[in-house]
Amino acid sequence: GLLRELMPTHVAVIMDGNRRWARMRGLPIWSGYEAGVRALRRIVELCCKWGIKVLTVFAFSSDNWFRPKVETDFLMGLFERGLRDELENFSKAGIRISVIGGSTKFPKPLQVLITDAMEVTKNNSRLHLIVAVNYSGQNDIVQACQSIALKVKDGVVKLEDINEFLIERELETNCTDFPCPDLLIRTSGELRISNFLLWQLAFTELYFEHSHWPDFGDDEFLEALRSFQQRQRRYGGHDS
Ligand SMILES: CC(C)CCOP(=O)(O)OP(=O)(O)O
Ligand SMILES: [Mg+2]
């Protein structure tokens, strides 16, 4: 069985395979995305139930903009509807929501809603849901370097002050005390990181699930947690 004391503190998920899930069932693409939102609601509830503190989900990567406009428009609408529908529930359930990545290309009303949702839920502490939209792991490191370079130039930071901790505090995941995921789950059988969190995944246990994201339910999540609990995490330490 699962041990509560061996639960990961921070779980990251690449929610992949929504369109293939729809195609396999002869359904339209958008029904795959809608099924993906239902799967996200499920895993948020499970994280609350198991006392997981941070859940970071890759909801839209920078290269997703190259999809047909009808798809990206639908996804923008889905983000807005999902956020509007869930905001009250999140507040009642003690769920804090943060959005990382460049949302400046999003429709203005969605940008306003994101800012409001982050403000309204910022003191919630049961689960911190971090939604990466239009996020790029490499760009995250670039913006952190730019911010540090500026501080060195302004004399706020000395060169010898630059270390992992200072860099980590400049990354977009600095909204949480647990910026580095203990477990990364990627669905739909793809075995790659796709420019998601990069620096933060240095010691993360990787778990690849063959089923598509909409089919990732309670059983699949528990299986991933069981796998995590059976792994010895060495952090580059003892060689046994
Ligand atoms: C926007 C993103 C979370 C959707 C992930 O599923 P997907 O659209 O990449 O689906 P496919 O990998 O099946 O094309
Ligand atoms: Mg995909």
- State residue 163's pLDDT score: 98
Residues 86-97: pLDDT tens digits?
999 998 999 999
Query: How confident is the model over 218-229, as a mean pLDDT?
Result: 96
Grade residue 103 by pLDDT with cuts at 50, 70 and 90. confident
Instruction: Evaluate whether 135 touches 106 at the Cβ level (below 8 Å).
Output: no
The Cα–Cα gap between 33 and 29 comes to 7
What's the token pair of residue 222? 């528990």
- State residue 233's pLDDT score: 65
> Among residues of the chain, what percentage have pLDDT more than 90?
91
Grade residue 40 by pLDDT with cuts at 50, 70 and 90. very high
Average pLDDT of the residues of the chain: 95
For 173-176, which contacts have Cβ atoms below 8 Å and span 24 or more sequence positions?
Answer: 173/56, 173/100, 173/130, 173/140, 173/197, 173/200, 175/98, 175/100, 175/128, 175/130, 176/10, 176/54, 176/98, 176/128, 176/130
Query: How confident is the model over 201-215, as a mean pLDDT?
Result: 98
Is residue 100 over pLDDT 90? Answer: yes
- State residue 2's pLDDT score: 86
- How far is the centre of ligand 2, averaged over its atoms, from the C-alpha of 55 (Å)? 19
Sheet holding 127-135, edge to edge: 95-100, 127-135, 54-61, 10-14, 183-186, 205-208
Give the residue, 238 or 4, on which the prediction is more confident: 4
Q: Among all residues, which ones are annotated catalytic?
A: 16
Cβ of 72 less than 6 Å from ligand 1: no
User: Which of 150, 203, 165 minimizes the C-alpha distance to 8?
Assistant: 203
> What amino acid is encoded at 7 in this protein?
M
Cβ of 216 less than 6 Å from ligand 1: no
Tell me how crowded residue 208 is: count the other CB atoms within 10 A of its CB. Answer: 15
Q: Cα–Cα–Cα angle for 218, 178, 189, nearest 5°?
A: 40
Is residue 239 over pLDDT 80? Answer: no
**ipTM of the shown complex:** 0.91
- How far is the centre of ligand 2, averaged over its atoms, from the C-alpha of 20 (Å)? 8
User: Which of 210, 197, 205 minimizes the C-alpha distance to 227?
Assistant: 205
pTM > 0.90 = yes
Residues 112-152: pLDDT tens digits?
999 999 999 999 999 999 999 999 999 999 999 999 999 99
Is residue 238 over pLDDT 70? Answer: no
Tokens 């970071």, residue located:
56
What's the token pair of residue 188? 């739909």
Cβ of 64 less than 6 Å from ligand 1: yes
